[in-house]
Amino acid sequence: CLSGKKKKKGKKKNLDLDRNKLRSITGISKLCNLKKLILSKNEIVNFPNEIQGLVCLEKLELNQNQIWVIPEGVFSHLPRLKHLRLNNNRLSALPRDLAACRGSLQYLNISNNLFRTFPQPVLQLAHLQELHMQNNALRQLPKELFQGQSLKMLKVNGNPLREPPSEVCAGGIQQIKNYFNQLQHNLGQEDKRVKTMFLGASLAGKSTICKSLKTSCGTSTALGLSCGMRKSSTWKALFFSSRHS
């Protein structure tokens, strides 16, 4: 609980309570002029509902706690929120009313959580410039995320992404846009997939064939390409997989 002195003032604009081993916090709703609230690196399990009373809040950091769920009805009261850090918690979803921050939120960090699917409220954040989602369990990113012009930085490494592939995401936002544009262009066309394994003794020409295939695909509209190797003392296998139209 905040001290009576802090409650009485009400004009405090910044409050930093990180690294205090806090499990909960009460009394902050009295700080109606607060613009910056730092509660990171504590032991908070339940999201502090009193935050909804901080209507002037612009920066909120609750990273590195133990939060599982964020209740509905908090973000709809934070129309000025620009910066939100929720990384290193145990979140698997975001509340629908996060979309109420569509006109203000520019930075969102939800990395190192338990997201298995992309949180849909994020797609409504029209002014989002920086999104961090590293080290979750995401397999797919929605193409709608890349249809606007506001997003400038995206971090998604550490996810088992299939669509787009991790290799594409590593190339940055423009590469991802190119990927989805290529998919759109190929709609209605026959999708050709090739997966080949070459097995044989060393020096039998497997590497040469694989390099030749990679070179060939490099001049086509290849959307995905991978090449791996397994070997023992008597044999070696090369795995080649590509998808192109």
Q: What is the pLDDT of residues 103-144, one digit of tens each?
A: 999 999 999 999 999 999 999 999 999 999 999 999 999 999
pLDDT, tens digit, for every residue of 186-231?
Answer: 765 655 555 566 666 666 676 777 677 666 655 444 445 555 555 5
Contact (CB, 8 A) for 89 and 113: yes
Calpha distance 63→66 (Å, rounded): 9
| Residue 205, phi-psi category: left (phi > 0), alpha (psi -120 to 50), beta (remainder) | left
Contact (CB, 8 A) for 56 and 79: no
Confidence tier at 245 by pLDDT (50, 70, 90): very low
Position 5 scores a pLDDT of 43
Position 186 scores a pLDDT of 72
For the entire predicted model, the pTM comes to 0.74
Contacts of 54 (CB under 8 A, 6+ apart): 28, 29, 31, 32, 34, 37, 77, 78
Position 201 scores a pLDDT of 63
